[in-house]
């Protein structure tokens, strides 16, 4: 395996870092409230970074999402790429790809996903969906939502045809409650589509968590190197060093497992267990890192307006979104025991 970015992937990552670093400042994020940053999203799409994922693959997307996580930029990057661009590219019909992908690539269409907890939605023989999904991240921004029914079939629904009510999460993800009442949906893919899209989502959001953790740790390192106590920087204390070192190792574990799962998907290899491994690290280690980042800020970390608190909220929300560690670990164990590791 080789996780070295290609020239195209590295260029896209560096461009994303510049755009997000310039636009996603703490002041702009605070002004955006719980909604998305339309200007930053427009800039990312205009730079071709969303459309580029079709060529750079899942590993390229993970690299881009790391940069988003470092700044906690409030844009539906992960959702629209995973549930829109990659899902339709891999499982959509030729007509669906030609109709939907250009809009997703240029940002005029945004896709979010309701796939992590199938069972609340049913589809009749005519392809009309009924049910409620209590929380769908980025629903308020979306033109389409990819929905999994109780038989784990995927359907693409126009949000204009459904009822979408705002829901506030701990992290500002423009979430909503999706209510379907005989809502028309178009099928996406066959029986294997759900498992692939779920594994792709786990990998991508683990990459996002790696960036959130890296950003939290970077802020903690800066704070402890400049904050002095009794004439010495906090970073000189062994306890601080050990806590930061543990957080660094956890962050690297999230990153490398996400890279491996993404690389395997791009290479056409089985990656379901690897995606679950990445999700477990992102859930378990992710919450440890963002707690450490806030703790290392001391009393400053208790300030809800401090930028490090945003990383804390994102880290805990991603932990909940991916599923708690024990649930993910149980699913991983069952998959390994079954011997059905093919995606």
What is the pLDDT, as a whole number, of residue 343?
A: 45
CA dist 123 → 13, 150, 152 (Å): 40, 8, 10
* Planar angle of CA 102, 96, 184, nearest 5 degrees: 115
What is the pLDDT, as a whole number, of residue 231?
A: 77
pTM comes to 0.95
Find out whether 119 and 150 touch, Cβ atoms under 8 Å: yes
Residue 49 buriedness (CB in 10 A; 0-12 / 13-18 / 19+)? buried
* Token pair 């963002």 in the structure block, residue: 290
* Token pair 């699913």 in the structure block, residue: 331
Q: Do the strands 228-229 and 186-188 form a parallel or antiparallel pair, or are they unpaired?
A: unpaired
Per-residue model confidence as pLDDT tens digits over 140-186: 999 999 999 999 999 999 999 999 999 999 999 999 999 999 999 99
Q: Where are the beta strands (DSSP E) in 96-193?
A: 111-114, 121-123, 128-136, 144-148, 154-158, 163-166, 176-184, 186-188
Per-residue model confidence as pLDDT tens digits over 128-143: 999 999 999 999 999 9
Confidence of residue 301 (pLDDT cuts 50, 70, 90): confident
Confidence of residue 325 (pLDDT cuts 50, 70, 90): confident
What is the pLDDT, as a whole number, of residue 144?
A: 98
- Centroid of chain to Cα 139: 14
CA dist 7 → 11, 144, 199 (Å): 6, 32, 26
Per-residue model confidence as pLDDT tens digits over 219-265: 999 988 888 778 788 877 888 899 999 999 999 999 999 999 999 99
Rounded distance, CA 217 to CA 293, Å?
5
Rounded distance, CA 314 to CA 170, Å?
8
What is the pLDDT, as a whole number, of residue 21?
A: 95
Q: 217-242 in b/e burial notation, b at 16+ Cβ within 10 A?
A: bebbbebbeeeeeeeeebbeeeebee
* Token pair 């499982």 in the structure block, residue: 91
CA dist 76 → 47, 59, 208, 255 (Å): 15, 18, 12, 20
Q: Sheet containing 144-148: which strands, arranged edge to edge?
A: 111-114, 144-148, 154-158, 186-188
Q: Partners of 232 in the beta sheet?
A: 229
Rounded distance, CA 152 to CA 190, Å?
10
What is the pLDDT, as a whole number, of residue 342?
A: 53
Alpha helix segments (H runs only) across 172-237: 193-226
Q: Partners of 181 in the beta sheet?
A: 130
What is the pLDDT, as a whole number, of residue 341?
A: 62
Judge whether residue 57 has pLDDT over 80.
yes
Per-residue model confidence as pLDDT tens digits over 75-122: 999 999 999 999 999 999 999 999 999 999 999 999 999 999 888 999
Find out whether 133 and 147 touch, Cβ atoms under 8 Å: yes
**DSSP symbol at 171:** S
Q: Do the strands 144-148 and 111-114 form a parallel or antiparallel pair, or are they unpaired?
A: parallel
Find out whether 202 and 160 touch, Cβ atoms under 8 Å: no
Rounded distance, CA 8 to CA 258, Å?
19
* Token pair 């996603």 in the structure block, residue: 24
Query: Average pLDDT over the chain, rounded to whole?
Result: 93
Find out whether 272 and 195 touch, Cβ atoms under 8 Å: yes
Helix axes 53-71, 193-226, angle to 10 degrees: 40
Mean pLDDT value across residues 291-313: 90
Mean pLDDT value across residues 265-276: 95
Judge whether residue 338 has pLDDT over 90.
no
Find out whether 59 and 260 touch, Cβ atoms under 8 Å: no
């Amino acid at each position: 395996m080789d996780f070295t970015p290609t020239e195209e992937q590295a260029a896209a990552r560096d461009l994303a870092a510049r755009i997000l670093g310039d636009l996603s400042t703490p002041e702009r994020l605070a002004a955006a409230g719980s909604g998305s940053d339309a200007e930053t999203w427009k800039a990312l799409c205009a730079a071709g970074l969303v459309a580029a994922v079709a060529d750079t693959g899942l590993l390229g997307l993970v690299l881009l999402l790391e940069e988003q996580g470092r700044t906690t930029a409030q844009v539906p990057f992960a959702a629209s790429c995973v549930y829109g661009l990659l899902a339709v590219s891999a499982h959509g019909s030729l007509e669906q790809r030609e109709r939907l992908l250009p809009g997703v690539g240029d940002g005029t269409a945004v896709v979010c996903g309701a796939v992590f907890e199938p069972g609340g939605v049913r589809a009749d023989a005519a392809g009309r969906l009924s049910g409620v999904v209590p929380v769908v991240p980025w629903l308020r921004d979306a033109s389409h939502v990819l929905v999994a029914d109780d038989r784990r079939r995927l359907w693409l629904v126009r949000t204009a045809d459904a009822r979408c009510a705002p829901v506030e999460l701990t992290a500002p993800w423009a979430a909503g409650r999706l209510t379907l009442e005989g809502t028309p949906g178009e099928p996406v893919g066959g029986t294997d589509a759900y498992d692939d899209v779920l594994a792709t989502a786990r990998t991508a959001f683990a990459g996002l968590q790696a960036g959130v953790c890296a950003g939290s740790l970077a802020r903690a390192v800066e704070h402890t190197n400049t904050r002095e106590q009794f004439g010495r920087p906090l970073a000189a204390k062994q306890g601080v060093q050990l806590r930061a070192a543990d957080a660094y190792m956890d962050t690297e574990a999230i990153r490398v497992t996400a890279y491996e799962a993404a690389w395997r998907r791009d290479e056409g290899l089985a990656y379901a267990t690897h995606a679950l491994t990445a999700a477990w690290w992102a859930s378990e280690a992710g919450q440890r890192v963002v707690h450490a980042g806030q703790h290392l800020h001391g009393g400053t970390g208790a300030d809800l307006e401090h930028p490090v608190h945003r990383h804390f909220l994102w880290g805990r929300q991603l932990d909940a979104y991916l599923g708690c560690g024990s649930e993910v670990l149980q699913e991983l164990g069952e998959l390994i025991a079954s011997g059905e590791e093919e995606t």
